[in-house]
Structure 1
Amino acid sequence: MLLFLLCLPSGGGANEQARRQARAIKENSEKDQDVVENDYESLRVLNIERNGNIIYTYKDDKGNVVFGLYDCQTRQNELLYAFEKDLEVFSCSVNSERTLLAASLIQSTKEGKRNELQPGSKCLTLLVEIHPVNNVKVLKAVDSYIWVQFLYPHVESHPLPENHLLLLISEEKYIEKFRVRVTQEDGNRVVIKNSGHLQRDRIAENFVWAQWDMSEQRLYYIDLKKSKSILKCIQFYADESYNLMFEVPLDISLSNSGFKLVNFGCDYQDQEKLSKHLSLCVFTNHAGSLCVCYSPKCAAWEQITYSVFYIHKGYSKTFTTSLKNVGSHMTKGITFLNLDYYVGVYLPGHFFHLLNVQHPDLICHNLFLTGNNEMIDMLPHSPLQSLSGSLVLDYCSGKLYRAMLSQSSLLQLLQKTRLDCEKMATLHCALSCGHGAQLLEGQIIQWISENVSACHSFDLIQEFIIASSYWSVYSETSNVDKLLPHSSVLTWNTEIPGITLVTEDTALPLMKVHSFKGYWETLNSNLENVKYAKPHFHYNNSVVRREWHNLISEEKTGKRRSTAYVRNILDNAIKVISNLEARNLEPRLTPLLQEEDSHQRLLMGLMVSELRDHFLRHLQGVEKKKIEQMVLDYISKLLDLICHILEASWRKHNLHSWVFHFNSRGSAAEFAVFHIMTRILEATNSLFLPLPPGFHTLHTILGVHCLPLHNLLHCIDSGVLLLTETAVTRLMKDLDNTEKNEKLKFSIIVRLPPLIGQKICRLWDHPMSSNIISRNHVMQLLQNYKKRPRNSMIDKSSFSVEFLPLNYFIEILTDIESTNQALYPFEQHDNVDAKFVEEAALKHTTMLLGL
């Protein structure tokens, strides 16, 4: 499930000396994974700085402690410093310019016993000038452990600043910030100014747990107030200032948990200790999420319980999973992984869970893999330490990985899994980690076209269309997740095997600052949404549905509102089609988007108008032009996905344009395409989404090919097949007048709306068509007919048939036509008059009598 990419590949050093000192690192590739091994058991990765550089130590052949740095940009190793003593290093950090090294050390003997460096002290914290090697300053010499960390307020390289900020974290439960001023002497020689007195600030004290977020320069810590665990966060800025951002109470007990640090370097803990201690960490992402992951001390291994506090949502979820085949002695602890939109929860050899951070409402949006699963086998089976960002340290091997979701593994799982809940979760996970990737979407579409009926708890086509369209515009603005649905599933009542879940409301953070930027602005927006219990603003097509039905009804009655309004809606549809064609330059396999289909264009245009208004109401501060483009992109994506699903099936069954010819029965391939088109129609109808113009025409023609007449007519009457003017015109022209085809044509004509029916009848040269035309003509003539004295001057000789009732009726029609010629120009132009009615009546009577 995870693709582990090496963060520490080997390579040459900056100079020959660095090469010799870093010879402990070598490169080995195994199955597309770069693996770093060392020849010395003493080699340890101690820290990863914000710029990605890795600090490591090892002991050379003489027992000296060597500090090395791997530059992730140049991919080279560099010697930083060496102590000619046998020391144990447990914390170190280097500034961004590599001029200062801070390290905490403990002196040890060959027997492994620690000797005091100074009376009453066991830990020595040093600040070393290393550019070039100059002075060494003692920061602390105490009888407790001290961890050190330089601040990196700038991501990019800058000229040498005057100040460097250094955090010192003491086992005595306080955190201090040192301001280290440096100056350049004799060219490039860097020395510390006023080394005798470094300015320091007390940042926090009396805490029991702390976590350092290297990438975002944030310090999280928990202090206990009246047995309550209060989580706080300090944000450090580039101008050397810092702020306490928030406080939030957590419903967890840390009173007896001891002192614990997270991400202050790489902590090589004892496995026995690791398995029994609690796990607690904080994860964020750019979308404004704030998650606290907590796993308490475990007394029994039959069940594992852990909690995730979705602070940005205002609730927590506690998951309990049962373990199978648990040995008598468990030595592996839970690891939480930050995977952007997901939190990974891993217990080696037992389970791997992917928890959806952005949309945690439904349990089916989380992926739970347990037992002997080949996806779990891809992960290391040894204890792991989650570091800042997505870095992971393997305790046993000392290997450092970068963890990320593997699209290929997710696709494999999507194809193999049998559970609907896993299909749902895997589909969303794949789309979230690869949104915008056409290759990924194409592979998912190919799978859907072959497994369209694979899910019973939800509509697979519907879910894919909604989720993929959502992710296509998600990055445009941070509030899209509040305005657009990400799933078609509103509730999920099916249990997840082996998982129980309890959801509880939690307190919202108390924000300590009032001016927000970047991540904090997005988080605050999420909190405001929860705080004021705002209703869900997710867009739906209910208004579009009502307005569309109104427009269609007006069209049938001929009382449509102003043409300017309708023209504006159709112009919206033209913009969508143009945007769609611009996104896809390759010719389409299917005959879609090649006809007017005014009804679908009306639906498309109405959706543009309504969605644009929806965004304008709720996206404050976003340019109208940008909103307009977002709307066009979203609706274009909907239509494009429908086209691609159909084309995948079209390509699979190798259909060509000959499906438009009616000289043979439908094949199995045509029936398969007809089936998936029907499923697409079902998926879009329930959500009232537009279809590409031409869809209904193609669907109807395939239906004529594949279905017996009674099934075809049932599909038409039930609304599964919609008769378009293009489709019926094709039928009237291409089908000959055999008895079977006459029955089909008549059955379709009588089901057409009057306006379309009048046009179509004139294309069919048949007595039945003449009869229908005549009936319409007579109905229109007699609609306002009032009996009046007859004109006896009509030439009776024009009636060649002595059939008195018909003669009398024709005489009335002729009289009306002669006195109201200006009222019926259309019929007169089409040669529909009393004479035509007479001939049609006689032909029809003859046909009915079999004469």
Structure 2
Amino acid sequence: MVIDNLSSKLYSILSTENKQDEFNEWRLLGQERDGNFLFSWVQTKENVSSTNIGIYNYHANDLRLLYSFDRKVNCVQASVNSSKTILAFVTKESKGEGSCEYTYKPFLYEINDEFEKVFDLDIERGKQVMVQFLYPKQSVLSENQPVKLLVFIHQEEKQECLYYNSAGIRQYKFKITEKLKENTVKYDSLVKTFVWAQWDPVQQTLYYIHNRKRNRGLVEGEDDVIEDTIGTKTTPTLSGLQFNDEVPHETVLNIPLNLPHLSSMPGSCAIYEDDTVPLRIHDCALDLVVLTDSNGSLCICHHYLYQGFFQPIQPVVDLNDEDTSPVHFAYSVTVLHHSCVIHCVVPDIPWNRAKKMRPLFILTGDHLVIFIPEICTHMLDVGIMHEPCCHITTSPIITDIETQFLCLAPVVSLGLGITINLATLDLIDANVPATLLAETFQSDTLLENKLAILHYFMLHAEDADLTSESDLLPWVSPQMLKEYLIGTSYSSVQRNLPSDASKLINLLPVTSLRIGNELEVELGDQMICLSQDVLWNASMMLLSPQQRIVPYRSDIWVKLWDQLAKVSKGPLRFKPSQVVDKLTVSLVCYQPEVLSRCSTPMSPSGGASKLNEFLGNQTGKRNQVDSLPFFEVDSCTASKQEHIISVNLRELSMHLLKQSSDNKMNRFQWQSQTPMHVHAVATRYITAQLDQSRQLCQILCKAACYEPRYELDKGFVYINQLSEEMRFVLFTILEKYYLAVESIAFPLPQGFTSFFTFLGYKTLNFDMFLQYVKRNVFELQVDVMKIIMADTDNSKTGIQRKLNLLTSLPRSRAKRLLNQWNHPISLMLRAREHSLNILSGVAGPPTSRTQGIQKNKGLTAFPSSDHLSPLDTFLDLLTAKATLTDIDFGLLVEATETSTEEFL
């Protein structure tokens, strides 16, 4: 979205003062640390054209003229010092009419002097030359503090011996009080030769690439070495010079890079884009940019084209401008603060199209946005919060601008995601809109892409409510529900965690996606491939805090060092699979009826008060509106929810204690993490699990059919009132919810188990329902069994179904239900169990006979004058095993009479 046009604003300012003049050919020459832009423009007055240089403050909408040429000049770049007293600029002139060769010349000018008096730095090169003033932290320099100017001279070819040895990076120093004269302007050589360089105005850091002796590449298994003219093996190395106010500059970074182009193109392609924002010195042989953030993030973005997938990467060669041969558009992002490299390849792009596409790399908070014109937009999750894994691929964010008129560059001090189109000077918001992500989520895209979008809304976006919109739910799957539960639980704990326990947040699960997963996303007719590699020991490439000139200086490099230390020797995140494995064993022996309310640490005896007290009253604070279609009460003595919560709490607490105590390499990070901190984090996370599980169930039920504002009936009555179609919809959604919750061992809301079981009973055919019971998906609690027993008729089929369900129950629960089943079959089964107990020596008190059963006189079919009937013989056998008071003769006789009837 275009938010402003700088050329129109500049024209408006100038035209009010000089209404008769013409102003055109606007060009951005640079941007300083304070956010001010440097522009050049051509002013035509009375048919005479001249070039002007000015400085523009966007927030104040103020343009100040700094220098005016007496003619039209091709000025390509400029810089002004912090006190706005000295201007440095570079001109680029053709060596001859119609020639493709150019000459770069840098100049200095004292702004308050006459326009024609400029100081020539006596540098004239056929390769690129750029200039940049250093900005101190103090807004005003003292008189004794010199002004520092960097002059970048790109490397010359070997045959140009006259200039080759004078290439490199120079630092000029001069005082403000002195006039610019030849004997007062002196320089030091900082870098001899370099392939590429970039200036970071915010951090005041110089990055440059040079060839350095090295035997090992940056990525494991990759060695990228080249030989110079004397046969010495070298590798391209990215170094960083940090400039400070009072102390000398220091080398804080040395990273070996994997740059295939440089191995086969030792020379230069001699074509310069003259990038001024950000200020980069390079030709077309290498397109690379370094992005940093003050929180310690550093990304090295390298864009290149190559041919051939199954051969070593080679640059594109011998293709003319109109050639349509397919090439691979690729880029790699070295995420240094996470010690990994992310690769992206867009295969089979026509050469004449690919050579015009210039990608945009910009950091927007926790994400690195890569915009590839006409192809796609990538959002790489590279923030400090967690490891890179949830990457998003969506359609291009800019579609209304032709590629040849699109040359985007990030700017500073205007807000995250604000870029400038160097071709039109339009300010463009490059942040990916939420509506575009929602459309991508609803489209037929890869599941991992949907999960990454869901993760973004839950943990990184300000408008997290989009995740609960019902219009997104038709596309839900157990994997997405699982991602929702993990993400919202993490986000909830992060918001409510005490500051002194914040280190432990890095141990909690943050996503269900696997880190380093390779993806192939199909966007339209284009395939996009993402992969990830791990770096070797990245901390060895960085200057440690104690090695700094000023030890432990508080800046980006100390933060980056701490982050690398956390990554290299850091702790492992807690995995829900640890609890799942424990529950797989413990739930086999789980018998709710034999547990007392005091047998688990989460027992809510006396109502829910003790549970809420244990969880820090977090659960009790939520709104207890009747938002679920069932009563949140479990009928069993000790619920499964209680058991799962206790296992989660125990496993998470042990994990937090172990990781915070075993991490000896980073002990300074964990020295304040006491068992009380572990308790606080563990209880808050378990609370978040329960709350988010309940909230998700509420969202799904509402999306399916339940509206708490209009529905009066709940529980089993509500299910009976639903139509078959609505039952099926509700069951399908709740089944996905159940699978998601079970796969990550989250607790279910109280009352859900019985509600879900009865819903399945009313939705599925009985054979399928019985399979769910045998696979422990449906739990036959007492309350749901009572209504199923009452709902099933006493036909032969119905009795058989009741017996199948009773045999699936634990013995104590089945016995309890048999006592309440007013049917002859129940009488017979209880008599058999009573006889079995006596014969096995487990005699108990006689059970009372079921009232209301009509007695059957079928015993007369066995007349015997000497009382030797089978029943008499059996009773004699029982009296020999137990006393008369232990035998329920009435039950046995009545059951014997009943057995003569055919019920099955």
Matched, 1:212 2:199: yes
Evaluate the alpha carbon distance shift between residue 107 and residue 328 of structure 1 in structure 2; reply closer, same or farther with a 3 A threshold.
closer
Partner residue of 2:474 out of 450, 453, 460: 450
Evaluate the alpha carbon distance shift between residue 677 and residue 836 of structure 1 in structure 2; reply closer, same or farther with a 3 A threshold.
farther
Structural RMSD (CA): 5.3
Greater CA deviation, 40-49 or 473-482?
A: 473-482
SS at match of 2:241: strand
Under a length normalisation based on structure 2, what TM-score does the superposition of the two structures give?
Answer: 0.69
Assess if the C-alpha contact under 8 Å between 1:539 and 1:614 holds in 2.
no
Letter in 2 for 1:512: L
Listed one character per residue, the Cα deviations across residues 317-353 of structure 1 (whole Å, up to 9, x for unaligned) are: 5544333455489444444343454444444334544
SS at match of 1:691: coil
User: How far 1:604 sits from its partner (Å)?
Assistant: 1.8
Residues 514-529 of structure 1 mapped to structure 2, 5 A cutoff: 514-515=545-546, 519-521=556-558, 523-525=560-562, 527-528=564-565
Letter in 1 for 2:410: L
Residues 773-792 of structure 1 mapped to structure 2, 5 A cutoff: 784=841
Matched, 1:231 2:238: yes
Residues 633-672 of structure 1 mapped to structure 2, 5 A cutoff: 633-655=684-706, 656=711, 657-658=713-714, 660-661=716-717, 663=720, 667-672=724-729
Q: Give the Cα separation in 2 of the matches to 1:658 and 1:750.
A: 29
Matched, 1:412 2:439: yes
Assess if the C-alpha contact under 8 Å between 1:806 and 1:838 holds in 2.
no
SS at match of 1:688: coil
Matched, 1:834 2:896: no
User: How far 1:200 sits from its partner (Å)?
Assistant: 7.5
User: How far 1:503 sits from its partner (Å)?
Assistant: 6.6
Partner residue of 1:439 out of 465, 480, 485: 465
Q: Give the Cα separation in 1 of the matches to 2:210 and 2:725.
A: 69
SS at match of 1:723: coil
Listed one character per residue, the Cα deviations across residues 527-547 of structure 1 (whole Å, up to 9, x for unaligned) are: 446767x89555243256326
Q: Give the Cα separation in 1 of the matches to 2:799 and 2:278.
A: 82
Assess if the C-alpha contact under 8 Å between 2:67 and 2:111 holds in 1.
no
Q: Give the Cα separation in 1 of the matches to 2:826 and 2:616.
A: 36
User: How far 1:415 sits from its partner (Å)?
Assistant: 1.1
> 1:399 is matched with which residue?
426
Q: Give the Cα separation in 1 of the matches to 2:888 and 2:364.
A: 79
Q: Give the Cα separation in 2 of the matches to 1:667 and 1:838.
A: 44
> 1:614 is matched with which residue?
655
Letter in 2 for 1:717: K
Partner residue of 1:244 out of 239, 247, 251: 251
Assess if the C-alpha contact under 8 Å between 2:242 and 2:249 holds in 1.
yes
Partner residue of 1:256 out of 263, 267, 272: 267
Partner residue of 2:77 out of 84, 91, 95: 91
Q: Give the Cα separation in 2 of the matches to 1:192 and 1:840.
A: 122
Letter in 1 for 2:784: A
Assess if the C-alpha contact under 8 Å between 1:337 and 1:343 holds in 2.
yes
Partner residue of 1:698 out of 746, 755, 761: 755
> 2:301 is matched with which residue?
293
User: How far 1:716 sits from its partner (Å)?
Assistant: 0.7
User: How far 1:251 sits from its partner (Å)?
Assistant: 2.4
Q: Give the Cα separation in 2 of the matches to 1:670 and 1:9.
A: 62
Q: Give the Cα separation in 1 of the matches to 2:140 and 2:692.
A: 50
Q: Give the Cα separation in 2 of the matches to 1:574 and 1:463.
A: 28
Listed one character per residue, the Cα deviations across residues 224-279 of structure 1 (whole Å, up to 9, x for unaligned) are: 2354211112334577665422211112254424798997546799xxx98x5431
Assess if the C-alpha contact under 8 Å between 2:152 and 2:169 holds in 1.
yes
> 1:539 is matched with which residue?
575
> 1:484 is matched with which residue?
509
Q: Give the Cα separation in 1 of the matches to 2:76 and 2:624.
A: 58
> 1:511 is matched with which residue?
542
Listed one character per residue, the Cα deviations across residues 141-184 of structure 1 (whole Å, up to 9, x for unaligned) are: 54354412442647xxx7887868644233265445677888xx
Letter in 2 for 1:249: P
Letter in 1 for 2:152: S
> 1:148 is matched with which residue?
132
Letter in 2 for 1:608: L
Evaluate the alpha carbon distance shift between residue 581 and residue 323 of structure 1 in structure 2; reply closer, same or farther with a 3 A threshold.
farther
Q: Give the Cα separation in 1 of the matches to 2:720 and 2:530.
A: 59
Query: Structure 1: which 5+ residue stretches go unaligned?
Result: 25-37, 115-119, 183-190, 788-799, 819-832
Assess if the C-alpha contact under 8 Å between 1:541 and 1:607 holds in 2.
no
SS at match of 1:405: coil
Evaluate the alpha carbon distance shift between residue 649 and residue 539 of structure 1 in structure 2; reply closer, same or farther with a 3 A threshold.
closer
Q: Give the Cα separation in 2 of the matches to 1:478 and 1:638.
A: 20
User: How far 1:725 sits from its partner (Å)?
Assistant: 3.9
User: How far 1:410 sits from its partner (Å)?
Assistant: 1.2
Assess if the C-alpha contact under 8 Å between 2:818 and 2:830 holds in 1.
yes
Evaluate the alpha carbon distance shift between residue 518 and residue 608 of structure 1 in structure 2; reply closer, same or farther with a 3 A threshold.
farther
Query: Structure 2: which 5+ residue stretches go unaligned?
Result: 154-165, 214-233, 305-314, 320-324, 547-551, 661-669, 845-856, 860-866
User: How far 1:465 sits from its partner (Å)?
Assistant: 3.6
Under a length normalisation based on structure 1, what TM-score does the superposition of the two structures give?
Answer: 0.73
Partner residue of 1:708 out of 758, 765, 769: 765
User: How far 1:283 sits from its partner (Å)?
Assistant: 2.9
User: How far 1:439 sits from its partner (Å)?
Assistant: 1.7
Assess if the C-alpha contact under 8 Å between 2:368 and 2:382 holds in 1.
yes
Evaluate the alpha carbon distance shift between residue 492 and residue 210 of structure 1 in structure 2; reply closer, same or farther with a 3 A threshold.
closer
Assess if the C-alpha contact under 8 Å between 2:240 and 2:253 holds in 1.
yes
Matched, 1:79 2:87: no
Matched, 1:461 2:481: yes
Listed one character per residue, the Cα deviations across residues 779-833 of structure 1 (whole Å, up to 9, x for unaligned) are: 666654599xxxxxxxxxxxx9996357658868993657xxxxxxxxxxxxxx8
Matched, 1:279 2:299: no
Assess if the C-alpha contact under 8 Å between 1:485 and 1:539 holds in 2.
no
Residues 761-776 of structure 1 mapped to structure 2, 5 A cutoff: 761-769=818-826
Assess if the C-alpha contact under 8 Å between 2:389 and 2:516 holds in 1.
no
Assess if the C-alpha contact under 8 Å between 1:592 and 1:692 holds in 2.
no
Assess if the C-alpha contact under 8 Å between 1:95 and 1:164 holds in 2.
no
Evaluate the alpha carbon distance shift between residue 696 and residue 67 of structure 1 in structure 2; reply closer, same or farther with a 3 A threshold.
same
> 2:399 is matched with which residue?
377
Evaluate the alpha carbon distance shift between residue 705 and residue 240 of structure 1 in structure 2; reply closer, same or farther with a 3 A threshold.
farther
